[in-house]
């Protein structure tokens, strides 16, 4: 349950300290894309619940799959940002790569906790989390070969992923935290939740803009 609290905090922190500010900097109207992400993930969860959990017998909960989708989109965008920065200059590319890697550490820990809590075995959670990270390579390759067209795609996907993470944190993970009502459990949940938020905020302050 501590990992769930940390995961909730890290997702919320990633959205409000990284994804939304990054999307706002594009100058586009992002709120429609954020809402679209929330609606899309709601529809996906309803489908996954109907497909896998209609008898209330879920070996793997739908929110674990949703987290993989959202993380895959986020990593795709990160890969595109890294490739685009290298196209501008090598020094900017290395700076951006370092920023992205360090920024992803707390979030990936949280994602791993979500997969474990969602029902994945440890080995399978590692494999699936790795597969979602591979989308960064795809994003980098697309950006490299189609640099002039990808900017608009990133402007859409960043707030879309933000909407997905908001949905997962607010509708799937936080309600799970409320199932434990003992004072000790609640204190641990609060501390880990705040730790996830604080860690994302700390990295955002320490690392250069990317």
- Helix (H) / strand (E) containing 64: helix 62-88
Per-residue pLDDT of 9-56, as tens digits, reads 887 888 898 778 877 876 667 888 899 888 987 887 677 555 445 444
The helix (run of H) or strand (run of E) holding residue 195 is: helix 183-206
> Beta-carbon neighbour count of residue 178 at 10 Å?
9
102 and 89 Cβ atoms separated by less than 8 Å: no
Other residues' Cβ atoms within 10 Å of the Cβ of residue 26: 15
Tokens of 18: 């990284």
pLDDT at site 148: 62
- Specify whether the CB–CB gap between 88 and 96 falls below 8 A: no
Q: Say yes or no to pLDDT of 107 above 70.
A: no
53 half-sphere exposure, CB direction, 13 A CA radius: 17
Domain ranges for the chain, please list them: 2-52+60-206
**Using CA atoms in the order 5, 72, 203, 209, what is the torsion angle rounded to 10 degrees?**
-150
Whether the predicted model's global pTM rises above the 0.75 cut: no
């Amino acid at each position: 349950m501590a990992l769930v609290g940390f995961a909730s905090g890290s997702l919320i922190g990633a959205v409000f300290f990284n994804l939304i500010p990054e999307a706002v900097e594009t100058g586009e109207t992002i709120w429609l894309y954020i809402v679209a992400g929330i609606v899309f993930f709601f529809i996906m969860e309803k489908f996954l619940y109907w497909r896998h959990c209609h008898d209330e017998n879920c070996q793997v909960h739908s929110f674990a799959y949703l987290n993989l989708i959202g993380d895959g989109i986020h990593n795709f965008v990160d890969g595109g940002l890294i490739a685009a920065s290298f196209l501008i200059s090598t020094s900017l590319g290395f700076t951006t790569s370092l920023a992205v890697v360090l920024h992803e550490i707390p979030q990936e820990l949280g994602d791993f906790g979500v997969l474990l809590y969602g029902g994945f075995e440890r080995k399978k959670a590692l494999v699936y989390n790795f597969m979602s990270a591979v989308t960064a390579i795809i994003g980098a390759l697309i950006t490299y070969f189609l640099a002039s067209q990808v900017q608009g795609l990133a402007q859409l996907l960043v707030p879309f992923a933000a909407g997905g993470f908001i949905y997962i944190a607010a509708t799937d993970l936080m309600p799970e935290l409320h199932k434990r009502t003992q004072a000790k459990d609640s204190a641990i949940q609060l501390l880990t939740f705040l730790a996830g938020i604080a860690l994302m905020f700390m990295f955002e302050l320490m690392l250069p803009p990317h």
